[in-house]
Amino acid sequence: MKNFTIYFAIITIMVTQAFGFGYYDSITIGTIVPGLTPSTTALGSVRALGVSEAAGIFYNPAQTASLSTDIQLAGSSIQWTERVIQTDIEKTTRTYMTNDNGTAALVYAAGSFVIGAGIAKIGEFGYEGSHTVYDDPDEPELGVAVLYADGSQWETLAGVSTVICGQLSAGISGGVRTVRANYHYEFNSHQFLIPDSSARWSAEDQAFAWHAGLAVDGEIFKSGLSYSSETDYMDDIIAIGASAFAAHLRNTTVGFEAQFASPFDNNRFMGNLFCQTPLTERMNALTSVSFDDSRVANRAGLGFGLGCDFRINRFTFGVGLLTRFKARKNSAFPNEQSDRVDDSSTMFSLGISCPLTN
């Protein structure tokens, strides 16, 4: 029992490769930070299309081609919750909160090109959980398994974008993704004949990553296409989106984006419907509804985003909130009996941007 428990856990953690759906994925390839800025958070983690901002070098670098010389800073707090459900009764709840998510980006207009650089936290490995282990639910417990992980994934990029012709722009960015994660698993036995067990290991990785995109910035219709490359701890993602300006709906812009993670392998899909509505001359409201379907992982999810941006003199401030709910079949503990596991995450983001030239 001892060997089965610890070896199975280690194999599960180190071998499982899954798209960052929720809390459980923190201990596999990491949970994706869903939005790097308040606008992308409120708009449901859009990538190909959204608000033109300096941090676009992390999503679709083509969107920075319309900027002058801007600096942008953002930070966020995220709480993940994992609920283990059996016979419609909540057996276990595990939570984890991180407050050290951050993004910094700078773009500079140099003639017909816009040059950009930035750093952002794009993944989280934090996990804390325990589980009471039984050979048989009708017999006394064997002990308690404890699983702990921490670490993060950061991306450092430089990029360039330009207007190719008319309303069409293109951009590309590249840099390094850096991963550092630590894991600790232990089994505390309650039985005399079963000894305690523990294991510690870590993961470190550096890999080249790049993003590329196209954008059409029309007065009525906008569209975008972007690609983010794959590394060992991040799936490649293709995103395509389009939006339309509706003057008869209080000048609201309505858009839709489709994202395909690991498009040349598992082809996992997420869709996102978003709206941008001006409330005043200096304030815009941002809302979104997102959904995903991954039959490979036996999961489905739904998300809601809300936020705003407002200008004071030369500064633009942003606030974004994104809540997501997902369901799956398994937890991080291989012998934990459950009918399903409900994941949820809540992200709150604040940010500021400012042009450095008139």
Average pLDDT over residues 55-68: 95
pLDDT, tens digit, for every residue of 211-246?
A: 999 999 988 999 999 999 999 999 899 999 999 999
The pLDDT assigned to 250 comes to 86
Structure tokens, 13? 């953690």
Q: How far apart are CA 55 and CA 64, in angstroms?
A: 8
Query: For 112-155, how does the pLDDT look when each residue is reduced to its tens digit (9 = 90+)?
Result: 999 999 999 999 999 988 888 887 777 788 889 898 999 999 99
Q: Is the pLDDT of residue 105 over 90?
A: yes
pLDDT at position 79: 93
Is pLDDT larger for residue 18 or for residue 83? 83
Pairwise CA distance, residues 16 & 114, whole Å: 40
Residue 54 to residue 307: CA distance in whole angstroms: 18
Per-chain mean pLDDT for the chain: 87
**Stretch among 11-15, 24-28, 91-95, 237-241 having the lowest mean pLDDT:** 11-15
pLDDT in tens, 252-265: 999 999 999 888 77
Residue 13: pLDDT band (50, 70, 90) is very low
Q: What is the pLDDT of residue 4?
A: 44
Residue 290 scores a pLDDT above 60: yes
Task: Report the pLDDT value the prediction gives residue 227, as an integer from 0 to 100.
Answer: 97
Element spanning 354, H or E: strand 340-355
Residues 6+ apart with CB under 8 A from 199: 6, 10, 183, 184, 185, 186
Residue scoring higher pLDDT (291 or 101): 101
- CA quadruple 289, 290, 293, 297: dihedral positive or negative? negative
Chain centre distance of CA 266: 18
Would you say residue 189 has pLDDT above 60?
Answer: yes
Confidence of residue 157 (pLDDT cuts 50, 70, 90): very high
The Cα-based distances of 46 to 145, 157, 269 in angstroms read: 38, 19, 13
**Residue with token string 């993704």:** 177
| pLDDT score, position 51 | 87
Which residues, in sequence order, are CB contacts of 85 under 8 Å at separation 6+?
91, 338, 339, 340, 341, 342
The mean pLDDT value for 156-166 works out to: 96
Q: What pLDDT does 276 receive? A: 95
Higher pLDDT, 301 or 315: 315
What was the pLDDT predicted at 21?
A: 44
What is the distance between the terminal CA atoms of the chain, rounded to a whole angstrom?
Answer: 69
Q: What distance in Å separates the CA atoms of residue 188 and residue 140, rounded to the nearest whole number?
A: 14
Q: Between 237 and 196, whose confidence is greater?
A: 237
Whether residue 266 has pLDDT greater than 80: no
Across 186-200, average pLDDT: 87
Taking residues 174-191, report their average pLDDT.
Answer: 92
User: Between 294 and 350, where is the model more confident?
Assistant: 350
Question: Could you tell me the two tokens for 35?
Answer: 């939005």
- In the predicted model, what is the mean pLDDT of residues 30-56? 93
pLDDT at 1 over 70: no
Domain 2-355 in this protein, CATH class:
mainly beta
Q: Is 112 exposed, middle or buried (0-12, 13-18, 19+ CB in 10 A)?
A: exposed
* Residue 112 tokens, joined: 């017909």
Residue burial 162-192, b: 16+ Cβ < 10 Å; e: rest: ebeeeeebbbebbbebbbebebebbbebeee
CA angle 53, 55, 59 (to 5 degrees): 105
pLDDT of residue 292: 82
For position 299, what pLDDT does the model report? 55
157-161, 182-186, 206-210, 238-242 — which is least confidently predicted? 182-186
Residue 86 confidence (pLDDT): 81
pLDDT band (50, 70, 90) for residue 298: low
